[in-house]
Chains A and B, each alone.
Chain A
């Protein structure tokens, strides 16, 4: 008996749960209302069948429960009943399938007037490409990808005006259909914005596509929906849906392939002039000064310094209330006249001689080694930093600074700003460090790593690798 009651309660409870659950579809922000319709049709049909079958089951259990006098009814087959049930089920299934296939028909055929955006996935980062004025993408190939050519552009006239967006922030015009062309530099990924409903895997070696029309102005989160390694959960990005004019303005502000190629090389000489201000705290050789809470700069990569200076400049770093030292850095960064100065100064610092640092914290390096295997996926197993994963060098950096930054990430003091995508990623990743001890341990391990220069020598004594 209890089982019959349980079946009734569970069946009806499941339906009630559906109506009262706070968890349901995200607000729709694209043209794919039809997908939601197919979900609702399926919900109604399956919900009705679910209740009907289970209530009948419960009825049967109660009505035909064991009774000493009862003998079961012997009826091996009932062709008529079986035919009816088969027929009705077939009709029901057809009723579900038909709208599904109909909507799929439009899902696979993007409208003629759709504009195109290419999404490039990599471990654990998004970037985007627009075809530019000619409306055609230039040819690309994974073989051509390098630090200087992150999109793998091949020498192709059609590619010169391609607009390259290296940051994981995409802006799209509202109410204009867009065909998303998807590819990957490494493993599988999946471009998913829950509110748009449509999504698709991204593969290396081929492209895939889907299309949609954003219908609501606003900001939406991009997540990766295909397991792509340990930082899969931290592979995030943003889509901003804006009015047409705002979109055009944004797009015009993004560099084309030709513009990037023509960019002036940085001038370390000019950078040296700007560096004079920095030297007061960070030291003449960029060796840092713990007493002034100024970290070592020497040994850091130019691209990383450049990015951080930009973040300070536009307020994406050093603006959090609890980031006292970051706040101190802001005015200095803001005093740099322009982007060129930032690039120059970064080039100058990159060339400074790199001196080893002393350990000042005591953590358990052995425990830290286990924790570090996660960090190594982006920062490199030797902490040497990997440009392709946007991960700076850690080896040879002062431990007090690393520990403080990890704490800041852990608590969201650094990296939470929406303009700091890689910081966002570090916030997610730093959650694996459950307490201060874990932070100290992992930093202690980083302190045991050979400095980057020595690593290369050890790995490749002949020095053939650049």
Chain B
């Protein structure tokens, strides 16, 4: 596409090393353990994140067993229930989704899609993963200390989190703090790397406005994470001081189990402000990479240019910026000065505009396309549907008045699972089906993939959509059991049992996915270098899977944006970003389209 970044880049990319200058690792350990290759680090991140994600999945099933069938499982008492709730939330948000999108997909795709040999700082990159691994191990250790993991909720609100009587207040919560600190340290190393690489190491001709949206999403998410995580870091450090050194940042004069505590003058609300200053951007740290990735999946599998690329880029940037001024919509009923409600409801609803534009542009990307209903495309469509649902329910919670009756009910649980759990996870799956051939050289099995998609998509909707109605009915969240609550109908229990069964089915279906990952690695059909006939640079590598150094002898030179599908006047159905203009063949007069994509 001619208009997009016609000016040729006048800089030499910093990662533009000649092939011979790279030092290739020779030993197994150098290649796969202490690897400095972003692709291997990506796999390490990915596998670790999925492993800890499985733990969180099991925790969610334990919660559902209790909610669906209370009084049946003696293993689950009120303390352990709250511990499952807390650990499930923190693991899924931070240790699975953040790590997988940025550490996993970020590492794999940034150098390849930007057209460089590796991250700007490979050693730091390696260190980032090992910090992450240690943080995960510390987190898991929380389950095994006396008193168990923290049960304060993933939000870790003081005074509860560090007050005696809360599960894990004697040790588990401390491990959570330490784990988060290590995670943030590790992420900072990785995050600086991603930013420097995107800004400094792009291939010749790869202007910012030619970048695939995947990179835009990951890039903006990383910028946000680097600005947001420090808020969590200080909040955690301050709470550690309150716990260990007797300071009172967040702890006012209060009682703990009937005894006067030694604290005085602290403010629990201060923590909430710090937490959500991190916590809200965190939503978009998870969402923006998903936005980017899904855009690329849609364009590729619909053989269509992304609609409104510049608008999409600006929407990502605007969402990223605005997400730093909406945090207190998590606190409308927190007891903060209620006049804040006016400001934060307004900023929150403004953010819906760029978000809606992204949705329109995804659908308009499919419009007049040639849609291949491949497994990645199915997941992408599933994402759009789920995200529209979750985004719209956000308009309830963001609009201060509407939030009042719905806050702290299952409406909230339904909303945030729809918008930042199911939707991004559908993208994760779509992305894995999409890029697996590049990572392994083999295709994932299609039939298994379709079974996986249908059960996950429909099952997740059956789990989370009805929860909104429990919220309307006023059913509070984070309850171990409902007993005989006057205004809660008995049918709520029946619905809870249904949701639990659906959750168990969806959870078990993930085993098919993991089987597919392993089976296809050995037996999958060979994919060739570019099975989806995609334009972006990662599909144009000399080897599949790409070797250390990514592009073989010569780095690619970029001539166009990432979405030249079905360009008028060109014979080819798609024009890779690095295809020189002189290789573009003129379309013959009868305009016979080369629509055959599948082999």
- Chain A residues with a Cβ under 8 A of chain B: 1-3, 6-7, 10-11, 14, 17-18, 21-26, 34-35, 38-39, 42, 45-46, 49-50, 53-54, 56-57, 60-61, 64-78, 81-82, 85-86, 89-90, 93, 96-97, 99-101, 103-105, 107-108, 122-123, 141-143, 145, 147, 182, 184-188, 190, 192, 194-195, 197-206, 208, 219-221, 223-234, 236, 370-371, 373-374, 377, 380, 386-389, 412, 416, 427-429, 431-435, 438
Contact = CB atoms under 8 A, between A and B. Distances in A.
Which 7 pairs, one residue from A and one from B, show the smallest C-beta to C-beta distance?
A205-B252, A388-B258, A194-B474, A208-B335, A73-B368, A71-B593, A100-B399
Given A23-B492, A57-B384, A377 B487 contact: no
Interface string B359-399: 11101101111111100001001101100110011011001
Interface string B471-514: 01110101111111111010110010000000000000000000
Interface in B293-344: 302-311, 333-335, 338-339, 341-342
Contact of A225 (B77, B408, B465, B566): B408
B303 A72 contact: yes
Contacts of B257: 123, 186, 377, 380, 386, 388-389
B305 A75 contact: yes
Interface string B560-589: 000101111000010000000000000000
Contacts of A388: 255, 257-259
Contacts of B311: 77, 82
Contacts of B350: 93
27 contacts: A10-B385, A21-B466, A42-B402, A45-B395, A57-B384, A61-B381, A68-B595, A69-B593, A70-B370, A71-B566, A72-B565, A75-B307, A76-B563, A97-B346, A104-B400, A143-B253, A145-B260, A185-B255, A199-B407, A203-B269, A206-B267, A219-B486, A221-B485, A221-B487, A233-B476, A432-B78, A432-B481
B485 A226 contact: no
Contacts of A434: 71-74
A6 B458 CA distance: 9
Nearest to A90: B353
A23 B79 contact: no
Given A100-B400, A233-B483, A76 B309 contact: yes
Interface string B245-257: 0000000111111
A57 B381 contact: yes
Nearest to A370: B77
Interface stretch (B122-130, B135-143, B159-167): B159-167
Contacts of A38: 399, 401-402
Given A23-B489, A60-B367, A142-B254, A53 B359 contact: yes
B481 A428 contact: yes
Given A14-B465, A388-B258, A64 B373 contact: no
B461 interface: yes
A64 B400 contact: no
Contacts of A64: 302, 366-371
A57 B377 CA distance: 13
Given A60-B366, A97-B346, A101-B345, A230 B255 contact: no
A74 B302 CA distance: 12
A85 B371 contact: no
A3 B381 contact: yes
Nearest to A77: B308
Contact of B78 (A26, A99, A374): A374
Given A72-B303, A230-B165, A194 B405 contact: yes
Contacts of B309: 76-77
Interface residues of B, number: 132
Contacts of B392: 46, 49-50
A76 B267 contact: no
B349 interface: yes
Interface stretch (B149-157, B437-445, B519-527): B149-157
B134 interface: no
Contacts of A192: 408, 474, 476
A200 B337 CA distance: 11
B404 A35 contact: yes
B302 A231 contact: no
Nearest to A143: B253
Contacts of B409: 225
Contacts of A71: 303, 370, 566, 573, 591, 593, 595
Contacts of B568: 74
A166 to B, nearest CB: 14
Contacts of B255: 122, 142, 145, 185-186, 388
B51 interface: no
Contact of B305 (A68, A76, A203, A230): A76
A65 B373 contact: yes
B396 A42 contact: yes
B426 to A, nearest CB: 12
A73 B368 CA distance: 5
A311 B372 CA distance: 71
Interface in B425-444: none
A100 B160 contact: no
Contacts of A374: 77-79
A68 B102 CA distance: 37
A204 B385 contact: no
A203 B153 CA distance: 17
Given A60-B367, A192-B476, A70 B385 contact: no
Given A46-B393, A53-B359, A188-B160, A232 B478 contact: yes
Given A3-B382, A74-B568, A107-B401, 6 more contacts: A10-B461, A89-B353, A93-B352, A96-B349, A208-B335, A432-B74
Given A96-B399, A194-B474, A203 B405 contact: no
Given A57-B363, A57-B366, A389-B258, A431 B481 contact: yes
B308 A78 contact: yes
Interface centre among A2, A60, A373 (most CB of B within 10 A): A60
B268 interface: yes
B481 A233 contact: yes
A151 to B, nearest CB: 12
B565 to A, nearest CB: 6
Given A38-B399, A101-B346, A77 B310 contact: yes
Contact of A73 (B159, B484, B566): B566
A89 B367 CA distance: 20
Given A229-B165, A374-B77, A431 B253 contact: no
Contact of A17 (B373, B378, B466): B466
A39 B407 CA distance: 13
A101 B348 CA distance: 12
Contacts of A35: 401-402, 404-405
B17 interface: no
A191 B569 CA distance: 67
Nearest to B474: A194
Contacts of A233: 78, 476, 478-483
Contact of A230 (B82, B252, B370, B484): B82
Nearest to A18: B469
B7 interface: no
Contacts of A228: 160
Given A53-B388, A68-B595, A145-B255, A225 B407 contact: yes
Given A104-B400, A386-B258, A76 B472 contact: no
B487 A199 contact: no
B491 A39 contact: no
